[in-house]
Structure 1
Amino acid sequence: MNNVPHYCETGDLHAATNELRGIRHQLHQHPELAYDEHQTASLVASKLESWGFQVTTGVGKTGVVGTLKFGDSPRSIGIRADMDALPITEETGLSYASRLHGKMHACGHDGHTTMLLGAAKYLGATGNFSGTVHLYFQPAEEKGYDSGARSMIEDGLFERFPCDAVFGMHNHPGVEQGTFIFRSGPFMSAGDKVTITIKGVGGHAARPHLTVDPVVVAASIVMAIQTIVARNIDPAEAAVITVGSIQSGFANNVIPDTATLQLSVRSFSASVRERLKERIVALAQAQAHSYGATAMIDYVMGYPVVVNHDEETAFAIAVAQELVGVERVIEHADRVMASEDFAFMLQERPGCFLRLGNGIGGEVGEGGCMVHNPNYDFNDSNLPVGAAFWARLTERYLGR
């Protein structure tokens, strides 16, 4: 552990910045959605093989695992990066903008993948550790259900590529670039997906009395649902219900037969999660019934709460402080209402999921634009910092 490599003296892998930027921009130009990350997986596998990793493809459908072993220690570490993009049309105007209409790396997974590849190249070249490192390049984090993490686990991830601890990272717009963000215990919320299909009776817009208008029912359900967090959940608890989609009809003079609502539901407590489900189902059905319609509800329990383990979080904090200084590390951040399927991995192995400030500016390239936005872009200044963190974390965890 006292054998400090050269990059530790400079703080990060700045010498690799141009190469990492090139990889990231290539990934950004060719975004692929969940379980369609074939070109991305091929690039990752090719890079890893060229750097001396043993590579396994097709893990959890399109996942890639790179394995590197030095020395004779039985210790092992797993590090995960997500690879998939989002169904969003990019509006950044950047020279390396997505070449595929309707697909975009609007959450920074191109950056996450590149940071881990940067660490992989360094570790393969130096071998300054004793033990085994498994790099998990995961598909389908954005799926919301049937996720890549779960698919890899069900495909025997931790039996085939076992680790003593597992770590993951996500960029965080709105916080100064290069700032590491941690929280032990519950850190990111559970996320569930709900589809409510309202069945009414369609007809002519001029004869509404002969119909059961599902649009009116949908509007009523939306308004009723807004009372759940305010009136059915303890104010000391955290919960969010968002109606992200309302779809019904096709013409102004036609009352449609059906309407569909899609909801995103977030929570931190198991009891709150169940209460939200109970009230959403009850209110939707009651509102529909009151208008003479019916409501069919498909309630998908998605990602669980991201719960970081104390020991692994403390270890990761120490590594970050060593790398960038205490002043650029937030040890006990606020909880985040977004969800993350890395939670499934933390249910299987001890570990830590951390976040890395992407910037606070609102302009393209400054990193402050919120994720899942057509103007978002990963901050390239984080590429050498994140890569160095993963490299140093591995060296410290598997220190000789």
Structure 2
Amino acid sequence: MPVRDRIRELQPEIAAWRRDLHAHPELAFEEYRTSDFVAAKLEEFGLEVHRGLGRTGVVGVLRAGRGGNQAIGLRADMDALPIQEANEFAHRSTVPGKMHACGHDGHTAMLLGAAKYLAETRGFDGTVNFIFQPAEENEGGGREMVQDGLFERFPMAAVYGMHNWPGMPVGQIGAMPGAVMASMDNFEVAVRGLGTHAAMPHLGRDPVVAAANLVGTLQTVASRTIAPTDAVVVSVTQFHAGDTWNVIPQEVVLRGTVRTLSPQVQERMEPALKRICDGVALACGVEMTLAYHYGYPVTVNSETETRFSREVAGAVVGTDNVRMDLSPSMGGEDFAFMLKERPGCYVWVGNGPAEGGCMLHNPRYDFNDDAIPVGVGYWAELVERALPGR
């Protein structure tokens, strides 16, 4: 694998940063130590550092060559998850109930490594904006950075992101055009009936039966409302009802998530869920109130930037190791907010086998430090090709 010698030399140092970040995880919008760590490193490398976008976000600006108007953005996410880590290695989480179970420690470390390498070599002509984003996990830090003026304050022609991918061998990179990650919306349904004695159900209106009926009927959204060629997932993930054995409760609350791979289909989901709630409520003689919360849009890679990313990846790992056959993921990703504002590409970088729990959002997950040269090499090659020096 043609990884540059200097990047290989930097790997132990970058891995040490990554393990330090892993040991000190912080949740969405609480990334104070992480932001301090990132800002200090960027300043040490000689970058111009900006803080406060998206509350705890950091942007490092590096100019080289003639410092012309050409500019691109590279993005990494910084937050951890509310999971109790089950690993026992030396760099395991020191914070109870929090861990880097998605590899954002690795993403941050690799982008820092790229910043250090490019600050040393400056083999490009233009401006690179290194975007360290908070709150990717559910809270929409990408949206907040955009709302805080990311693209107005740091003009850029395109923006690029990456995520480690367990189950794909280290040394492979996946780059697919179009929808690569699903939209992510949440819903809550309050089902109100008439509580009564469990032995006398005819005297009340049972919200439990109505809610159970709703769980199954919601699946007709995917099977009968949306075309079979359009991917849709409707999952009820919470069912809250009752306090004791012999009482039919007054109210049941259901919560869940909706995922799609099309912005047009995403727009149809709230009306579809409301229609089903109204129908089941009428049939069961109860009241249902739907609260639908729009979360992340579909993550859509632009065609031109995806072709470019494949060329970059091929130069780093070889064309045979560039995956173009991967199916989109129904997971959500708030890099989608940045891709709505600028063209770009979100790639997957192989993290090795997923056995033993080394899969995303698992308490035994750990980022694979062997992937560091691949990620840093990809960023370096991308910058030098997107902003060619003279």
TM-score class, shorter-chain normalisation, is over 0.9
- What TM-score, normalized by structure 2, do the two folds share? 0.93
How far off is 1:12 after superposition? 7.7
2-structure distance, mates of 1:25, 1:372 = 17
Task: Kindly indicate whether residue 313 of structure 2 is the aligned counterpart of residue 324 of structure 1.
Answer: no
Residue 372 of structure 1 aligns to which amino acid in structure 2?
H
**Match of 1:86, SS?**
coil
Match of 1:60 in 2: 54
Residue of structure 2 aligned with 1:150, choices 143, 147, 158: 143
Match of 1:250 in 2: 243
How far off is 1:264 after superposition? 1.3
1-structure distance, mates of 2:249, 2:96 = 31
CA contact (8 A) 1:11 1:323 kept: no
2-structure distance, mates of 1:158, 1:79 = 12
**Match of 1:242, SS?**
strand
Match of 1:100 in 2: 95
Residue correspondence of structure 1 range 231-250 to structure 2 within 5 A: 231-250=224-243
CA contact (8 A) 1:92 1:374 kept: yes
Match of 1:35 in 2: 29
2-structure distance, mates of 1:29, 1:258 = 42
Residue correspondence of structure 1 range 1-400 to structure 2 within 5 A: 10=4, 13-72=7-66, 73-143=68-138, 147-363=140-356, 369-400=358-389
CA contact (8 A) 1:198 1:214 kept: yes
**Match of 1:25, SS?**
helix
2-structure distance, mates of 1:89, 1:20 = 25
2-structure distance, mates of 1:200, 1:91 = 42
* Structure 1 range deviating more: 254-263 or 232-241: 254-263
Residue 62 of structure 2 aligns to which amino acid in structure 1?
L
Deviation by residue 1:347-371 (Cα, 9 ceiling, x = unmatched): 111111111122234025xxxx331
How far off is 1:101 after superposition? 2.3
Residue 371 of structure 2 aligns to which amino acid in structure 1?
N
Residue 79 of structure 1 aligns to which amino acid in structure 2?
L
Q: Over aligned residue pairs, what C-alpha RMSD do you find?
A: 2.0
Aligned length: 388
* Pair 1:35–1:203, CA change in 2 (3 A): farther
How far off is 1:332 after superposition? 4.4
Residue 244 of structure 1 aligns to which amino acid in structure 2?
T
CA contact (8 A) 1:173 1:358 kept: yes
* Pair 1:88–1:256, CA change in 2 (3 A): farther
2-structure distance, mates of 1:92, 1:210 = 53
2-structure distance, mates of 1:103, 1:213 = 39
* Pair 1:194–1:393, CA change in 2 (3 A): same
2-structure distance, mates of 1:263, 1:121 = 42
* Pair 1:204–1:240, CA change in 2 (3 A): same
**Match of 1:252, SS?**
coil
How far off is 1:45 after superposition? 0.8
How far off is 1:244 after superposition? 1.8
Deviation by residue 1:237-296 (Cα, 9 ceiling, x = unmatched): 211111122222333344333222222111122342233322211112322333232211
2-structure distance, mates of 1:152, 1:396 = 26
Residue 35 of structure 2 aligns to which amino acid in structure 1?
A
- What TM-score, normalized by structure 1, do the two folds share? 0.91
**Match of 2:101, SS?**
coil
Residue 380 of structure 1 aligns to which amino acid in structure 2?
D
Determine what percentage of the aligned residue pairs are the same residue: 47
* Structure 1 range deviating more: 209-218 or 309-318: 209-218
* Structure 1 range deviating more: 109-118 or 210-219: 210-219
**Match of 1:201, SS?**
coil
2-structure distance, mates of 1:315, 1:273 = 29
Match of 1:4 in 2: none
How far off is 1:314 after superposition? 1.2
**Match of 2:348, SS?**
strand
